[in-house]
Amino acid sequence: MASHRRPKQPTHRYTGILTVTAAAAVAVSTQPASADPLPDPNKKGVQAQIDRLYEQATQATETYNGAKEKADALQRQVGVFQDEAARKQGELNELRDRLGTVATGQYRSGGLDPSLQLLLSQDPDGYLEKASALDRIGERQSALLKDFLSQQRALQQHRQEAGRKLKDLDSTQRDLRGRKTEIQGKLREAQQLLNTLSAKERSRIAAEQDRANRAGARAELGDQASASQRAAAAFRAAQGRVGKPYVWGAAGPDSFDCSGLTSWAFRQAGISLPRTSQAQAGVGARLDSLGDLRPGDLIIMRTDLSHVGFYAGNGQILHSPKPGAQVRYESIARSGMPFMWGVRLS
């Protein structure tokens, strides 16, 4: 896929209630500045703390995404086991009815010892035929009983497995809630620090972020082709999301976190990726050198593998970087995140 200068795409501001804390870096607060003077007169220390909190929030988001993916999988498994248990119960009910019918028939036809019945019978040949039929009924009842007991054991196993999955799901959901609280706490702390700045300083930060978003809507990418058609298709899908806001835990189509963008884009190309950057780092062919990357390859950032984006060509990454930012192009060298390796999917 040839790739040339990208036309400037319209940016979008995100004002949803759910992510008001995530937009803190571009929001101008109306709250008064703190009465306590900060030691750094230029407030650079505060901004560095805010940036660090956003980084911690994005790292925690990938952990949250992993827990969410596990919870969703467990929920599906619980549903399967519960449905299977319900089906087994229905089969058992049918077997129980059939066993009851056979038992009732035998009870009604019983009474005398078979040898006396034969002795007193006025039609020995007819009796012997009936006795043979009763033996066959007994064999059928025995087979039904064995089938019933087997189905009963299978039902118990499904119920036990569903119970174990439900326990795992409950534990995972508690972890999920804890991660969510952690992320919201980081973003809330960042907002509180932002509120300590003067209106002028907050306006300057907002303007810088706005400039970064506008500049990141376009980039000189060169004309290097993608390694495969599906990688090219995924990259084109991601390019169509430039200007969409970063929202933690979001996977499109109108907002994204970092791994949400890559997993959504590859899904448009018919490839299912794991939800987290750490898991995405382990799929496909690993590329250790930036020089080996081609547009559409995944690029894994940070030593804990907590950030992922698309290699866009000419030393650029296309990604959803952090709270307050939008999906944009950015120089890898200037992103502030160390490159770990690339991943190529065929």
Structure tokens at 86: 């319900």
- Confirm if 117 and 127 have CB atoms less than 8 A apart: yes
DSSP string for 256-306: B-HHHHHHHHHHHTT----SSHHHHTTSSEEE--GGG--TT-EEEESTT--
**Residue 258: active-site member:** yes
- Confirm if 173 and 75 have CB atoms less than 8 A apart: no
Tell me how far apart the terminal alpha carbons of the chain are, to the nearest angstrom.
14
Distances in whole angstroms, Cα of residue 4 to Cα of each of 133, 182, 223, 299: 86, 41, 6, 20
Q: Which residues have C-beta within 8 Å of that of residue 346, sequence separation ≥ 6?
A: 227, 228, 230, 231, 284, 285
- Confirm if 58 and 307 have CB atoms less than 8 A apart: yes
Residue 123: how many CB atoms within 10 A of its CB?
Answer: 9
Report the interhelical angle of 44-109 vs 124-195 (nearest 10°).
170
Distance CA 306, CA 183 (A): 14
The string over 217-244, giving b where at least 16 C-beta atoms fall within 10 Å of a residue's C-beta and e elsewhere, is: bebebeebebbbebbbbbbbbbbebbbb
Q: What is the dihedral of CA 138, 142, 145, 147, to 10 degrees?
A: -130
* Annotated catalytic residue within 4, 12, 158, 319: 319
Phi, psi (degrees; rounded to nearest 5) at 274: -60, 160
Catalytic center residues = 258, 307, 319
